Amino acid sequence: MANFPAMPLWTDAYIADTQHLSNEEHGVYLRLLMFAWRTKDCSLPDDDKRLALMVGVTAKKWLKLKPVIMQHWDCSDIGWTQKKQLKVFQAVSKSVNQKRAAGEASWKAKSLKDNELDATVVITEEVTGRVTAGQRTKTKTNIQKIDTKVSTKKGTRWTDKNEVADDWIQWAVEQGLQIEDAYIQAASFSDYWIAISGSKGTKLDWQATWRNWIRNTMQRKPSTPIIRAVEDPTVIDSIVADLIEKNGRGI
């Protein structure tokens, strides 16, 4: 699967740049944009036979179309690239990598905190084994009081002010989801729980609810992508919209 199945396309910029193309040339040009977007470096091979196969025309027909179509592209060591498309691709890649790095850092920090907590519990148990009977009873009483407070914690509802945190997304990716699928599941998760009414929509631990959501989703579809991001182009747009706007109008 492509790194970013959904390709941002600014229709006003596209129309302005391609008004001189015929309907056939439009179809060929747009198809090449899609093929380039799905590669790791957003490029097309410098091979006329392969390009003809990609757009579904004969080699002779491609040689007639090429001068008009490829005037929008630059050829370099990596192949053919479209300047505006490459700029958007690089912006999307940068934004996603930043979010992935932030999620990993948050996840590592949480894991370190959990490990420190586990170490504290072990030390407490060792010390408790050496105290007097009276002190041991007091320790047990304190633990019981803490447990009582936790058990009386009230659940909360998920609202449009809540959002799935980056470390939650990272956890889903570590379970085997593609990052774009994790963001799609985050949107579905929010929409579902906002719509649920009554006591069913109240949870004590929303992070645990998210983990169960991901596990159940992966069990239902163990060998296929959960949702194709191409069916929801707003996924990529929502991640990098601000960044793309700063870098240009788009393809």
Cα distance between residue 143 and residue 156, in whole Å: 25
Cα distance between residue 85 and residue 92, in whole Å: 11
Asked if residue 243 lies in contact with residue 95, where contact means CB atoms within 8 angstroms, the answer is yes
First-to-final CA distance of the chain:
21
Query: For the segment 26-78, what is each residue's pLDDT rounded down to a tens digit?
Result: 999 999 999 999 998 899 999 999 999 999 999 999 999 999 999 989 999 99
Cα distance between residue 187 and residue 107, in whole Å: 20
Q: What is the chain's mean pLDDT, rounded?
A: 78
pLDDT of residue 24: 92
Q: What average pLDDT does this structure show over 67-91? A: 91
Which pair of tokens denotes residue 19? Answer: 């008004």
Which burial class, exposed, middle or buried, applies to 73 when counting CB atoms under 10 A from its CB (0-12, 13-18, 19+)?
Answer: buried
Asked if residue 9 lies in contact with residue 244, where contact means CB atoms within 8 angstroms, the answer is no
Query: For the segment 159-201, what is each residue's pLDDT rounded down to a tens digit?
Result: 988 989 989 998 998 888 888 788 889 889 998 999 888 888 8
More confident residue, 153 or 79: 79
Handedness of CA 232, 235, 237, 238 (dihedral sign): positive
